[in-house]
Structure 1
């Protein structure tokens, strides 16, 4: 078995390995980007909007059961020996979520393509509209508790002076000045959480900032607290923050799986704060 890939790879790294029979490229695009006309040759659909969200949950993008995740990854042709590269058509948006889910299921042989499909195309690499056939894999789910957490864990984290809770939504959504894209949700944020919009960790062309810049921005947002939980609208862009924390070796970041789609529901009595 080959060595583990670095967690973040550039287009040239992927292009050099595209013909490797043990490489699996997964397109984790969501929303309108899910229907992009072109894909990286051989890419397979990691369906965060459908099969790879929990069908038993009324919340979007929540983690399916280990058995369901294993079944879907095997159907995508992923083996335990595979090297997986995930990307999305927006640049860096939903691909860190796919990476985080793989890690939460015990799979470490995965990488995020920095800049996603736009960076791949900007570098002059080929795209296709063809879907290539692939055979089922033998992926084994080995869940790691603690990487994806629920509202009770988050409530305890908010009361813990050693834990920073970072919100990846826009600052306007955080303060309640802007409405939520899911109109049934309340406006505002988790009391005691800190705003760190995911866009502040990315370059204008949709790549991660250099490591020293990531480290500085995370250090400022966490105020050097040793534990970290990230949240967002539905658990997708929270993974951009958590992945950045992983890149900078912040200890044990966790992602609130339901995020604001769970906490912000009007039928709950969970506290909400508006303003800065």
Structure 2
């Protein structure tokens, strides 16, 4: 099945030492709260053990109601090819990953990182590229 996604990448809690100053989110908590029950909204919480970004347990403890969890380092957002680590997987693999999270062509996606370290923003951006 082919998915053609338009992702709205959002960071509600960017806490990054790699970015100087305050980076405002693309949408704020009020906007999200007003839309949490929209059928086409998918809140994707992407976490990783990198920079103590957390795992499923930390997601459960701090999750946005109705959000979906994906582990950036373990769930297929990146792969190694020809001895090069951290590359985007091919389109078919991304379609499976995104579709497996219940995200379709009709979804409006808000991607939320854990907000724990400097790499949060980079994997948030990586997940929003497909």
Band of TM-score, shorter chain? 0.5 to 0.7
1:63 to 83, 88, 110: 88
Give the alignment partner of residue 33 of structure 1, picking from 53, 69, 80: 53
Shift in alpha-carbon separation, 1:69–1:6, aligned structure 2, 3 A: closer
Structure with bigger RCO (C-alpha 8 Å, 6+ apart): 2
Distance 1:60 1:48, change over 3 A: farther
Size of the aligned set, in residue pairs, is 101
Unaligned runs of 5+ in 2: 1-6, 11-25
| CA apart distance, 1:64 | 1.0
User: RMSD of the TM alignment (CA)?
Assistant: 2.7
Which residue does the alignment assign to 1:97?
Answer: 123
Hey, what's the Cα distance between the residues in 2 that align with 1:77 and 1:30? 20
2:98 equivalent to 1:73:
yes
Distance change >3 Å, CA 56–CA 95, structure 1 → 2: same
Which residue is 1:23 aligned to? 41
Which contiguous aligned blocks of 4+ residues in structure 1 show a shift greater than 4 angstroms? 4-7, 55-60
Q: 2 CA distance for matches of 1:57 and 1:50?
A: 19
More strand by share: 2
- Give yes or no for contact 1:25–1:42 (8 Å, CA) kept in 2: yes
TM-score of the aligned structures, taking structure 2 as reference length = 0.63
Which residue of 2 is the match for residue 14 of structure 1? 32
Unmatched tracts of structure 1, length 5 or more? 106-276
- Pick the structure with greater CA Rg: 1
**Does the CA contact (< 8 Å) of 1:63 and 1:101 recur in 2?**
no
CA distance in 2, matches of 1:50, 1:58: 18
Contact 1:24 1:83 in 2 (8 A): yes
In the TM superposition, what are the counterparts of 1:1-276 in structure 2 within 5 Å?
Answer: 8-31=26-49, 32-35=52-55, 36=58, 37-51=61-75, 52-54=77-79, 56=81, 59-90=84-115, 93-95=119-121, 97-103=123-129, 105=130
Change in Cα spacing, 1:34 to 1:57, as seen in structure 2 (3 Å) is farther
1:44-79 CA deviation, whole Å, 9 max, x = no partner? 123211122225565554211111111000000111
The answer (yes or no) to whether the contact 2:46–2:124 under 8 Å persists in 1 is yes
